[in-house]
Structure 1
Amino acid sequence: MASGDDDDPIIEEIDVYLAKSLADKLYLFQYPVRPSTMTYDDVNHLTAKIKPKQQRVELEMAINAMSPNYCRSKGEQIALNVDGTTYDETNTYSGKMMDKQSFTSIQATTNTSRYAAAVFRKGELHVTPLTGILQMRPSFSYLDKADTKTREREAANEGDSSQDEAEEDVKAITVRFARPESEQARQRRIQSYDFLQRKQAEEPWVHLHYHGVKDGRSDHERQYLFCQSGDSSENSELVKTPKEYLAMLMPPLAEEKVVKPVGPSNVLSMAQLRTLPLGEQVKTLMKNVKVMPFANLMGLLASGTDSTAALRCIQQVALLVQGNWVVKSDVLYPKNTCSPHSGVPAEVLCRGRDFVMWRFTLERSVMRKEITSIIKLPPEDVKEFLEHVAVPRVNRGWEFLLPTDAEFVKKHPDIGHRQHMLWLGIQSKLEKVFNFSKDDFKPKNSPQPEPVHVSGEQRLKVAHERAQGNQTSLQKDLDARRAGDGVHVKQEPVDEPMDTSSSVPNGSVNGYPGATSPAFDHTNGDDGNAPAQELQDFVIKTFRKHFVLTLSEFKRLLSLHLASMPVGRSVFPSISDHMLQDAILLCQCKQIMVPFPAQTTAAADEKKVFALWETGDESDKHRRVLYELYKKNYRIRRNVIQLKLTQEFGDFPKADVDRLLHECCISHAGMWYLKGTIQS
């Protein structure tokens, strides 16, 4: 022996035997809600049953109703609530008193490979592995039965009078066919609570006979805890070094390293995320966030991360849309997977999502119905595509989620050019898949090529000359219109100086250019007033149909009108916001100064509300009263509108109120708003 072991001499050697007779049926019962000094050994066990696969045990034990600690009135009340006043074989408490209680087991641990029961006899230690460790806790299922009885009695009382009639009713049966179940949907289903409950209910109960500690059968079974003669022949001497033996007793926790997730799933752990390689960090972030500016991405990565390396990584998993990075479709929908909503293959999903992303490279907003009609995918999938990168806006479809990051494009022109070429390649593929012509892929508000380079001073001089030449005729037309009080005066076409506000492009709708026409030159042709006259006709026709429009909605309708014209038919020039507002005010319309809340995020065009003021019929005065109300508040309750109309015009029928609100307003959350003024 080594000198270090002199202080720790071996006193005795004990042989250890492995008993296998009860290896697959030995359970350890724990009673965590009961002190160890108060055992259930002397309590009468009424029934016992087990589900071996689930390791679930239920025991029924008698309650000593004669104990001075037992409240008889409470026991009788509980029995009455559970079983009612009638007596039958299904009653929980046959003695009309709570004279028993149930215990249900839960597993204390699912892995019992390191636990065993041992007995010591005659210098020998006999060890039997445990099959399960179960904690027995009181079950209160009788309370559920009492609630069920109460509901049944209430339902019976309510349904007695109509039972005969209900039996004669014929109900229509709706037949539904289940969709093909994807692998992801199947995994979610088998992990759901309802599925687990059904699986547990499928295993039948095995009823057992309980034998007490002092019973003869118990003494007989305890003998199996000792190693039998047949088992001892298989035993062999343990030839292990102390270090190997300790390693067997306490193996390293290698399984934790295996089951630990390699990356974040639904909830990102930043500490765990930063242990991954940079490429995996970028991929995981983009897969969870879907769309992100590059500056935000750098803020989420560890401090000191090289931006050039991050740019290389993000180009592998994302595409540039309006200066922001959007995760690629094949990252979200890997090969050989399918949609969790409809079962559509991943290849088809990627093509549809690429089309949605490509449309956002051309314009800020898209219409969901238009997208669905082109890519021909189920509405649930199209909605998921849009929710990744956009938000719904009232009367504007789906708007891109983030503002355009022009700073990034300006700072990295080489990446912007490379991404532009990638999108051209995607566009050519989409053209073949969805059978588009070249014109269908032209972006909205595409810049027109400048024919000749003109200096800024020359442009300013020409603009001043044109403005001075047309100012007089424009002012005369406006004065004559306002002084005439209803007399229609045609407005001569006027060329304005360059307007930097947003304009409606000639013949374009949702980014798709339509018909083209010559520049707005009043000297061309004989009918120099045709554009202004046609614009006024469109304004009158539109407002007589809609009554109330915001400037942004009117511009959208005008774009649709331009796109519907045949090639060469359009006579409209590029129309500025100033020209549109003048045309609206010249056509029996007025602007309603709606007092929007200070915290509103609506665009300027959405705050400009115009309403048809005069049509020549009796309803004009009713609408004017309504408009006056909306000058004081941007949302009004119906009863306030009804009261105001009654005060002004006496008895005002409900049908007329409904018609007026239908013409000019829209309802949301119990309040009425002018059309187009609901704030997101």
Structure 2
Amino acid sequence: MASGEDDDPIVEEIDVYLAKSLAEKLYLFQYPVRPSTMTYDDVNHLSAKIKPKQQKVELEMAINTMSPNYCRSKGEQISLNVDGTTYDESNTYSVKMMDKQTFTSIQATTNTSRYAAAVFRKGELHITPLQGILQLRPSFSYLDKADCKHREREAASKGGDSSQDEAEDEVKAITVRFSRPESEQARQRRTQSYDFLQKKQAEEPWAHLRYHGVRDGRSEHERQYLFCQAMDGAENSELVQTSKEYLAVLMPPVAEEKVVVPVGPSNVFSMAQLRTLPLGDQVKRLMKNVKVMPFANLMGLLASGTDSTSVLRCIQQVALLVQGNWVVKSDVLYPKSTCSPHSGVPAEILCRGRDFVMWRFTLERSVMRKEIAAVIKLPPEDVKEFLEQMAVPRVNRGWEFLLPSDTEFIKKHPDVAHRQHMLWLGIQSKLEKVFNVSKEDFMPKNASQPDPMYLSGEQRLKTAQERARENLPSLQKDHLNAKRQGGAGGPVGEVRVKQEPVSDGESELMDTSPSSPFLNGEANGYPSSVSPASSSALDHRTTNGSGAGSPVTSPPPELLDFVSKTFRKHVVLTLCELKRLFNLHLASMQPGGHTAFHAVSDRLLQDTVLLSQCRQILVPFPAQTSLAPDEQKVFALWESGETIDKHRRLLYELFSKNYRVRRNVVQNRLAQEFGEDATKADTDRLLKECCTVTGGMWYLKGTMQS
């Protein structure tokens, strides 16, 4: 402490006094459009008024019309525009020349608790807290008055028979409307509107003031109140706090100044404020305000350098794809426990009706309002609001979708387009049940349908069925020829025609349930009753290298490449999940691009897995398991060329003894087997790649029972 005092010696001690006489009356005026060297001290102040609650001040100051810098012709022209040629007491300018200007204040800050005015006298510092800090700028309200005068002159020049106007007024019908009870949401919206705030501000009356100059005697008298009046009173006390406590009071180390956001309309949000939010909230707020937007426009509104993949992930959570453009989801606009501001209809019913409108726009460019209203049966105000959010009215064409179809986005992101298409199929099935309608009800008969932007699974299946019917006669012919040649030289191939399920020992087709539309015979160009046998070797599957029989015939290179890449990405997959991913892969391909995958059976797919550096994990599921047979067949990546392979094999060994394990068991076993080579990061990576967790227990991916 001694060395610190020598480095920073005390030069002088000053007594500080708190003056309270003007504590609630002292304002600091700032003139940001004028240099500090050019004050208004010597300018004649004509009038002053204040609204204390709003801290709003208006000052009228004279303009020196005799100054060489004053343009007389401009001043006369402004006066003529504002007051006209006549003279009365309500004129803004009394001398037919702009001889004064008005200054209006705005608050520089809403929190003045840290600001004070200080005066120094005879070794004493007297500080007075500020009530407000106001910035005064020139007001141009006289331009509004000039504009009103201009409109009045135009109306007078048009003229009109006033008696005829009165007669017309007399015969006008009077419409009586009874207002509905105002909901809480509508009340909040109204109280935050610009008109309401303007009306509230206008309600406070002006308090007129008298201005005294800097050198005026009254000003000198008031300045004395800046000094503490009770110098020897009981309020003055010695500082009893330590230096650290006093410093903490002056500069709180933790507490932050609360930023008070000015009250404004609920839909006004600056771009600067927007970019302080997380990316998901930015996308949600933009879509909630814009309603319909192309993806390119959305990227333009976000900060430069934003990752488009992250934006795509966020946009799919708050919007749906309609004709290549993104339309905000209904539950974002109408959250639960809210209702329509027009009719009071609950949000759930509003979302259902709006989803129907969006779905119709996925089918066609234009819709008729009457048809929409007849199906969803909502009040006209709500139906109109739905349509105005995503469409524009066209003469004799109903309501047309707001934006042109964005085919570029669909070509660039086919995976997103396909995912959205599948999502719409699910929404369509729900809407058809709720409103008892079907897609065909809205399609005109004998009308040529536009080419789809991408082929759905149903369309691919239909094409495959037609191609199979065309190939069936030739397949049957080949079958008969093969039979005839069998007696002389032995069979060279076989086509089995069946009308019943294939047994386990034969080359079976994949699941023909609706969840797997591409892994059955029809989707691959053959009818469900025809199954080409690729080779007799498929009847002798080798599992993990321990099965009997010769090696399987090599699968198509495309299938082997797909399986290898899939397992390097997912590491552990059940047969059910692998089939689902294969379906999606086929759906994402161009028409005709999956000919190499024709007649892919469960057997062939499993054999391909075993040829891709993978093995089947025989997980001992309980007898009463709820998993389907395909979910109990678990395959895992065995050899990837990484050092973590040995850790994976040990994990698979644990799961071959129990279908679920605890983390500490895995970590202890790794430490026991590999010592310091098994770090916590390795354990985390291993469990993240291969497992899912619930209730503290870890399961291989896809094996957790519901």
Q: TM (normalized to structure 1)?
A: 0.50
Counterpart for residue 113 of structure 2: 113
Counterpart for residue 456 of structure 1: 470
The offset of 1:157, in angstroms, is 5.2
Which amino acid counterpart does residue 175 of structure 2 have in structure 1? V
Map Cα deviations across residues 174-194 of structure 1 (whole Å, 9 max, x no partner). Answer: 436355555555445444443
One of 248, 251, 264 as aligned partner of 2:250: 248
* CA contact 2:108–2:135 (8 Å) conserved in 1: yes
Structure 2 matches for 1:5-44, cutoff 5 A? 5-44=5-44
Instruction: Classify 1:375/1:82 alpha carbon distance in 2 versus 1 (closer, same or farther; 3 Å).
Output: closer
Computed over aligned residues only, the root mean square deviation of the Cα atoms, in angstroms, reads 5.6
* CA contact 2:368–2:397 (8 Å) conserved in 1: no
Counterpart for residue 381 of structure 1: 382
Q: TM (normalized to structure 2)?
A: 0.49
* CA contact 2:275–2:282 (8 Å) conserved in 1: no
* CA contact 1:358–1:427 (8 Å) conserved in 2: no
* CA contact 2:387–2:399 (8 Å) conserved in 1: no
Report the Cα distance in structure 1 between the residues aligned to 2:214 and 2:354, rounded to whole angstroms: 69
Higher relative contact order, structure no. (Cα contacts within 8 Å, ≥ 6 residues apart)? 1
* CA contact 2:274–2:282 (8 Å) conserved in 1: no
Which amino acid counterpart does residue 212 of structure 1 have in structure 2? G
* CA contact 2:323–2:405 (8 Å) conserved in 1: no
Counterpart for residue 55 of structure 2: 55
* CA contact 1:17–1:232 (8 Å) conserved in 2: no
Report the Cα distance in structure 2 between the residues aligned to 1:362 and 1:79, rounded to whole angstroms: 62
Report the Cα distance in structure 1 between the residues aligned to 2:366 and 2:155, rounded to whole angstroms: 53
Instruction: Classify 1:385/1:215 alpha carbon distance in 2 versus 1 (closer, same or farther; 3 Å).
Output: closer
SS in 1 for 2:7: coil
The alignment status of 1:162 with 2:161, answered yes or no, reads yes
Which amino acid counterpart does residue 250 of structure 2 have in structure 1? M
* CA contact 1:16–1:124 (8 Å) conserved in 2: yes
Report the Cα distance in structure 2 between the residues aligned to 1:56 and 1:344, rounded to whole angstroms: 42
The offset of 1:85, in angstroms, is 4.9
Map Cα deviations across residues 465-518 of structure 1 (whole Å, 9 max, x no partner). Answer: xxxxxxxxxxxxxxxxxxxxxxxxxxxxxxxxxxxxxxxxxxxxxxxxxxxxxx
Report the Cα distance in structure 2 between the residues aligned to 1:314 and 1:74, rounded to whole angstroms: 55
Counterpart for residue 212 of structure 1: 213
Map Cα deviations across residues 622-666 of structure 1 (whole Å, 9 max, x no partner). Answer: xxxxxxxxxxxxxxxxxxxxxxxxxxxxxxxxxxxxxxxxxxxxx
The offset of 1:205, in angstroms, is 1.1
* CA contact 1:180–1:343 (8 Å) conserved in 2: no
Counterpart for residue 104 of structure 1: 104
* CA contact 2:330–2:354 (8 Å) conserved in 1: yes
The alignment status of 1:133 with 2:133, answered yes or no, reads yes
* CA contact 1:62–1:100 (8 Å) conserved in 2: yes
Counterpart for residue 234 of structure 1: 235
The offset of 1:125, in angstroms, is 0.9
Which amino acid counterpart does residue 456 of structure 1 have in structure 2? E
* CA contact 2:116–2:129 (8 Å) conserved in 1: yes
Runs of at least 5 residues in structure 1 that lack an aligned partner in the other structure:
462-680
Report the Cα distance in structure 2 between the residues aligned to 1:370 and 1:338, rounded to whole angstroms: 23
Counterpart for residue 334 of structure 1: 335
Instruction: Classify 1:382/1:222 alpha carbon distance in 2 versus 1 (closer, same or farther; 3 Å).
Output: same
Which amino acid counterpart does residue 102 of structure 1 have in structure 2? T
Instruction: Classify 1:187/1:407 alpha carbon distance in 2 versus 1 (closer, same or farther; 3 Å).
Output: same
The alignment status of 1:123 with 2:156, answered yes or no, reads no
* CA contact 2:284–2:315 (8 Å) conserved in 1: yes
Counterpart for residue 372 of structure 1: 373
* CA contact 1:20–1:231 (8 Å) conserved in 2: no
Counterpart for residue 516 of structure 2: none
Map Cα deviations across residues 377-404 of structure 1 (whole Å, 9 max, x no partner). Answer: 2345335545777888986976796779
What percent of counterpart residues are identical? 66
The offset of 1:122, in angstroms, is 2.2
SS in 1 for 2:88: coil
* CA contact 1:389–1:401 (8 Å) conserved in 2: no
* CA contact 1:19–1:231 (8 Å) conserved in 2: no
The offset of 1:127, in angstroms, is 0.8
The offset of 1:292, in angstroms, is 10
* CA contact 2:321–2:417 (8 Å) conserved in 1: no
Report the Cα distance in structure 2 between the residues aligned to 1:439 and 1:412, rounded to whole angstroms: 20
Report the Cα distance in structure 1 between the residues aligned to 2:297 and 2:216, rounded to whole angstroms: 73
Number of corresponding residues = 445
Counterpart for residue 222 of structure 2: 221
Runs of at least 5 residues in structure 2 that lack an aligned partner in the other structure:
263-267, 450-457, 476-706
Instruction: Classify 1:346/1:15 alpha carbon distance in 2 versus 1 (closer, same or farther; 3 Å).
Output: same
Which amino acid counterpart does residue 112 of structure 2 have in structure 1? T
Report the Cα distance in structure 1 between the residues aligned to 2:299 and 2:63, rounded to whole angstroms: 67
Report the Cα distance in structure 1 between the residues aligned to 2:107 and 2:79, rounded to whole angstroms: 30
Map Cα deviations across residues 448-467 of structure 1 (whole Å, 9 max, x no partner). Answer: 99999974245799xxxxxx
Which amino acid counterpart does residue 198 of structure 1 have in structure 2? K
Counterpart for residue 195 of structure 1: 196
Report the Cα distance in structure 2 between the residues aligned to 1:374 and 1:321, rounded to whole angstroms: 20
* CA contact 1:335–1:346 (8 Å) conserved in 2: yes
Report the Cα distance in structure 2 between the residues aligned to 1:410 and 1:68, rounded to whole angstroms: 71
Which amino acid counterpart does residue 16 of structure 2 have in structure 1? V
SS in 2 for 1:382: helix
Instruction: Classify 1:137/1:362 alpha carbon distance in 2 versus 1 (closer, same or farther; 3 Å).
Output: closer
SS in 2 for 1:6: helix
Report the Cα distance in structure 2 between the residues aligned to 1:63 and 1:268, rounded to whole angstroms: 39
Map Cα deviations across residues 278-332 of structure 1 (whole Å, 9 max, x no partner). Answer: xx7897788678799999999999869799xx99x99987789999997653343
Report the Cα distance in structure 2 between the residues aligned to 1:353 and 1:170, rounded to whole angstroms: 41
Structure 2 matches for 1:270-289, cutoff 5 A? none
Counterpart for residue 586 of structure 1: none
Instruction: Classify 1:163/1:45 alpha carbon distance in 2 versus 1 (closer, same or farther; 3 Å).
Output: same
Which amino acid counterpart does residue 26 of structure 1 have in structure 2? L
The offset of 1:57, in angstroms, is 1.7
* CA contact 2:324–2:405 (8 Å) conserved in 1: no
Which amino acid counterpart does residue 470 of structure 2 have in structure 1? G
The alignment status of 1:45 with 2:45, answered yes or no, reads yes
Report the Cα distance in structure 1 between the residues aligned to 2:325 and 2:67, rounded to whole angstroms: 76
Report the Cα distance in structure 2 between the residues aligned to 1:73 and 1:293, rounded to whole angstroms: 53
Report the Cα distance in structure 2 between the residues aligned to 1:106 and 1:205, rounded to whole angstroms: 15
SS in 1 for 2:169: coil
Map Cα deviations across residues 505-533 of structure 1 (whole Å, 9 max, x no partner). Answer: xxxxxxxxxxxxxxxxxxxxxxxxxxxxx
Which amino acid counterpart does residue 107 of structure 2 have in structure 1? Q
Report the Cα distance in structure 2 between the residues aligned to 1:67 and 1:108, rounded to whole angstroms: 32
Counterpart for residue 347 of structure 2: 346
Map Cα deviations across residues 93-118 of structure 1 (whole Å, 9 max, x no partner). Answer: 44555544433323333332222111
Instruction: Classify 1:337/1:75 alpha carbon distance in 2 versus 1 (closer, same or farther; 3 Å).
Output: same
Which amino acid counterpart does residue 22 of structure 1 have in structure 2? L
The offset of 1:23, in angstroms, is 1.1
Report the Cα distance in structure 2 between the residues aligned to 1:291 and 1:78, rounded to whole angstroms: 46
* CA contact 1:322–1:361 (8 Å) conserved in 2: yes
Report the Cα distance in structure 2 between the residues aligned to 1:30 and 1:398, rounded to whole angstroms: 54
Report the Cα distance in structure 2 between the residues aligned to 1:376 and 1:241, rounded to whole angstroms: 73
* CA contact 1:19–1:228 (8 Å) conserved in 2: yes
Instruction: Classify 1:155/1:275 alpha carbon distance in 2 versus 1 (closer, same or farther; 3 Å).
Output: closer
Counterpart for residue 478 of structure 1: none
* CA contact 1:25–1:131 (8 Å) conserved in 2: yes
